[in-house]
């Protein structure tokens, strides 16, 4: 009887093992929901990347009180990630010199337009220096898009892509952003992070 139980257990394990397919494990290299890749260029020479000095970037409502008051972040925290590694641009940046960032887009109901706003603060160090009379310069960009869900595999499930992308800067009295070009204007789609989606000139 004992041998019969061992034999049946072996057969069960063998059947379970053969029924697993290669795509039952989602590989780390599988493309997932992309972020919006933004690069900053010199407004005097459109081909030259230019660092934004001491940039801080975050979702507009991330540091907004219930009464609607914006409280700019004072330090890097769990809401602002300094870096995600040398091979990927940071999602949220705090007080660093950078010419490239990757902004996560909010996933909404499929086929409904979503609007998100990001605060892009230049010269954050001036705001943080209490002995300095100068201050930073904040511009806000507004991003509109539609979420679509795309099947990846049985193991990975679905990922989101973003279509009908449009981006603009909110007008203020002292803008540091001179111009914005949507690099995916021909397709208006964000489906991977292999390319720059938006170029901002300053």
User: pLDDT at position 12, please?
Assistant: 53
User: pLDDT at position 35, please?
Assistant: 87
Place of tokens 């990347």: 49
Q: Give the tens place of pLDDT for each residue, 36-51.
A: 889 999 999 989 999 9
User: pLDDT at position 82, please?
Assistant: 40
Q: Which residues of the chain have pLDDT under 50?
A: 7-8, 18-20, 23, 77-87
Sequence spans of domains, the chain: 23-201
d(CA 146, CA 189): 9
User: pLDDT at position 81, please?
Assistant: 40
User: pLDDT at position 182, please?
Assistant: 81
User: pLDDT at position 186, please?
Assistant: 52
User: pLDDT at position 195, please?
Assistant: 84
Residue 39 near residue 52 (C-beta atoms within 8 A): no
User: pLDDT at position 17, please?
Assistant: 52
Q: Which of 58, 61, 77 lies closest to 69, judged by CA?
A: 61
Q: Which of 176, 162, 161 lies closest to 119, judged by CA?
A: 176
User: pLDDT at position 86, please?
Assistant: 43
Torsion of CA 170, 171, 175, 179, to 10 degrees: 70
For the purposes of burial, counting CB atoms within 10 Å of the CB of 138, is it exposed (0-12), middle (13-18) or buried (19 or more)? Answer: buried
Global confidence as pTM: 0.77
Residue 53 near residue 122 (C-beta atoms within 8 A): yes
């Amino acid at each position: 009887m004992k041998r019969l139980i061992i034999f049946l257990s072996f057969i069960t394990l063998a059947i379970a093992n053969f029924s697993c397919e290669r795509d039952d494990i989602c590989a780390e290299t599988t493309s997932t929901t992309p972020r919006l890749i933004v690069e900053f260029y010199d407004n005097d020479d459109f081909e030259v990347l230019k660092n934004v000095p001491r940039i801080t970037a975050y979702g507009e409502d991330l540091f907004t009180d219930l009464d609607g008051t914006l409280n700019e972040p004072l330090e890097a925290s769990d809401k602002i990630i300094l870096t995600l590694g040398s091979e990927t641009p940071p999602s949220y940046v705090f007080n660093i010199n950078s010419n490239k960032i990757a902004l996560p887009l909010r996933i909404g109901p499929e086929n409904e337009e979503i609007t998100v706003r990001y605060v892009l603060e230049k010269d954050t160090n001036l705001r943080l220096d209490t002995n300095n009379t100068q201050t930073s310069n904040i511009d806000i960009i507004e991003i509109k898009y539609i979420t679509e869900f795309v099947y990846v595999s049985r193991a990975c499930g679905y990922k989101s892509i973003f279509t009908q992308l449009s981006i603009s800067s909110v007008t203020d009295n002292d803008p540091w952003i001179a111009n914005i070009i949507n690099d995916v204007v021909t397709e208006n789609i964000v489906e991977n992070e292999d390319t720059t989606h938006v170029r901002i000139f300053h």
